Amino acid sequence: MAIYHCSVSVGSRKNGQSAKAKNAYINRSGKYSAKSDDAVFAMSEIPPAFKNADEFWSCADRFSRANATLFRQIVTALPRELNLEQQRKLVSEFAQKVTNFECKKLPFSLAIHHDKNNNNPHLHLVISEKIIDGIEREKELFFKRANKKNPAQGGASNARLGASKNWLIETRKTWQTMCNDALHKIGSENRIDARTLQEQKIDRVPTQHVGVVRQNMNSPHEFEFDVIKENKTINKANDGFEKAIKAETQKIANMPTAQIIEFEKAVKNKKDSIDKALFNIETMCFSVSRAARKIEGKIKKTEQKLNSLHIPTKPQMPQFLSFLSPSWTRYNEACELQQDLQDEINKNQQLLEKQNARDIRKLQQLKVECDEVEIIAAESVLDAHALMKELEAMHDVEMNLNSIVEPSTPTPAPDFDAGPNF
């Protein structure tokens, strides 16, 4: 059965990796020759200045810069439905596709590995990021830093495949497409998919990769790795979930046509009612927000009028009180409206929590605006109270001043002894 596996790894000098050792591993040469039977196919494409792939990858180790990327390795699982010849054709075309960089080629080496029972056929593709640009260079110069002004005097340019995730994503999609085309040509119905289970909308818990080594070490009489145990638990849960889905699907399939139609109508009506409720809630939020802005405008006008007032004298007191009374009435109306709005918000709070984040943010903003309106109104009342106290104090002072009466000049008494005044 075909499975999807396509991973990319990076080999660099700063991490202590070797391009020569990687090439020896995939070709089963040198110290890996004991497993030479595993490598059933190998090929390479390298610049003509190098005799073979071993020399190319050895020079990459010797002449590349200290922080250079030596290679990128792609490992893919090959479909067991394909025979060896079909697998050779598939990997050759895939290598030509992914090493074609901006109409120029990248050096590569590849090998197909099989185990004895053909249970794990897979591809190792090792790619150099040095672009073959057609300029003849010495072996040492090929891996040096590129010279943009005089390309022939510098090394080959780097493709920088790891600059973004686009190359990785496109490589995984390319392998999916080419592998599925190969399966289609032989008449197989099996397919692979590069997408995650979530992207495929498959309700199944993913398992972890076990690997051939750990799988072969596992036996009923020996210990089991934690990964294997966890995968068994996940597979058991997935099997139960899939059985439940199949049972429910079969149940729906066995339903009469009329019952299915009624069920679809009920689902559609439920969806329409939900959409209508969402629309009503959005309309309500807009109305509440508009009312809050009106209240804020009234409070600002009241503040402006209070700020424009001067301290009134006693004759102006009735006029001031007559002006203040409507303002106080308007404030009470604003408080009542604020309370009504708060009651409405509390009433619909439970509904709003079930809506999307956008509606919830609107409600929170509305509450903030209402709180600001309440604070502004309270400050206005405090200012009005303070002003009234000042007016009452001035009135008391004026009354005290009026109660103090200065003594008048005494009138002289009549002199009766002086006699008549002729």
Q: CA-to-CA distance for 318 and 335, rounded, in angstroms? A: 26
Rounding to the nearest 10 degrees, give the CA dihedral for residues 177, 182, 188, 192.
-30
Q: Structure tokens of 212?
A: 């051939």
25 belongs to the catalytic site: yes
135, 157 contact by CB (below 8 A): no
Q: Which of 327, 334, 335 is closest to 387 using CA atoms?
A: 327
**214-221, Cβ contacts within 8 angstroms, sequence gap of 24 or more:** none
- Out of 4, 25, 32, 331, the active site residue is 25
Cα(207)–Cα(230) distance, rounded to whole angstroms?
8
Nearest to 75 by CA among 105, 130, 113, 34: 113
Return the number of other C-beta atoms located less than 10 Å from residue 260's C-beta: 12
**Which structure tokens are listed for 314?**
């006693």
CB neighbour burial string for 92-126, b if at least 16 within 10 angstroms, e if fewer: eebbeebbebeeebbbbbbbbbbeeeeebbbbbbb
135-140-143-147 Cα dihedral, nearest 10 degrees: -60
DSSP SS3 for 108: strand
Please tell me the distance from the alpha carbon of residue 283 to that of residue 280, in angstroms, as a whole number. 5
Catalytic residue numbers read 25
